[in-house]
Amino acid sequence: MTPALTLEPLSRAHLPEMAALWADPAVIRWTNIAAPCTAAEAAERLDRLLACQRGLPAPAVFAVREGAVFRGLAGCPPVDASAGTYGLFYQLLPACWGRGLGLAAAREALRRLEKLTPSLVLADTVAENTASVRILERLGFVRTAVRPGAFRREGRALDIWDYALRRGGSDGSALRDGPHITEK
């Protein structure tokens, strides 16, 4: 049985965990983080995530824990809060991969986003990141565009797939699967 996941509103206190997450080459492989972050770069990145949700009536980005153990990050930072547009992202440590925790964390981030009354949630992933493709599609996201060769890593140009989810656009069936998530 999978232990319960807990999402904690992201804070400056999470810096050591965020620094470790963003220094892991496997974690950042499919992200816009080009190289493992130094402690100073992680602090800057964390400050940007905290700043983007300042002024929102509820948190939008969370540290993910399995039991007491830090597992990663998930959230829906605003793209244009006044228009109700947010973006979904999740970054989990390799120990979580293949266990349904990414889907569970993303699902819970979307559930918490409902407090902010979104009208549209955007996401994107590198086409070769099949785990993220499956997560987004299970959550009801629909592919809206392909950006050929838009992701460059290690001399390779890979496609990015853009996705969107309109509020109420999923039948909710995928929302019943996976590990239980508790409030924090």
pLDDT digits (tens, 9 = 90+) for 85-121: 999 999 999 998 999 999 999 999 999 999 999 999 9
Q: Rounded CA gap, 81 and 103, in Å?
A: 24
Q: What is the mean pLDDT of the chain?
A: 88
92 by DSSP, 3-state: which? strand
Going by C-beta distance under 8 Å and a sequence separation of 6 or more, which residues neighbour residue 112?
7, 58, 59, 60, 62, 76
Of 28-32, 61-65, 149-153, 166-170, the one with minimum mean pLDDT is 166-170
**Residue 184 pLDDT more than 70?**
no
Residue 97: what are its φ and ψ, rounded to 5°? -65, 140
Short-list 102, 128, 118, CA closest to 164: 118
pLDDT score recorded for residue 179: 35
Q: What is the mean pLDDT of residues 139-154?
A: 94
With beta carbons less than 8 A apart as the criterion, state whether 121 and 150 touch: no
Q: Are 94 and 48 in contact (CB under 8 A)?
A: no
pLDDT tier at 127, thresholds 50, 70, 90: very high
Kindly state the percentage of the chain with pLDDT values over 90: 79
HSE-CB at 142 with a 13 A cutoff on CA atoms is 9
157 three-class SS: strand
Identify the residue whose tokens are 């973006």.
87
Query: With bands split at pLDDT 50, 70 and 90, how would you rate the model's confidence at 3?
Result: low
Work out whether strand 142-153 and strand 85-87 pair parallel, antiparallel, or are unpaired. Answer: unpaired
Q: What's the DSSP call for residue 54? A: T
Predicted TM-score (pTM) of the model is 0.86
Q: How confident is the model at residue 167 (pLDDT cuts 50, 70, 90)?
A: confident
Q: What angle do CA 114, 126, 38 make, to 5 degrees?
A: 85
Residues 37-83 have pLDDT tens digits of: 999 999 999 999 999 999 999 999 999 999 999 999 999 999 999 99
* pLDDT value at 154 more than 90: no
Name the 3-class secondary structure at 122.
Answer: strand
Q: Give which of 116, 94, 107 is closest to 135, Cα–Cα.
A: 107
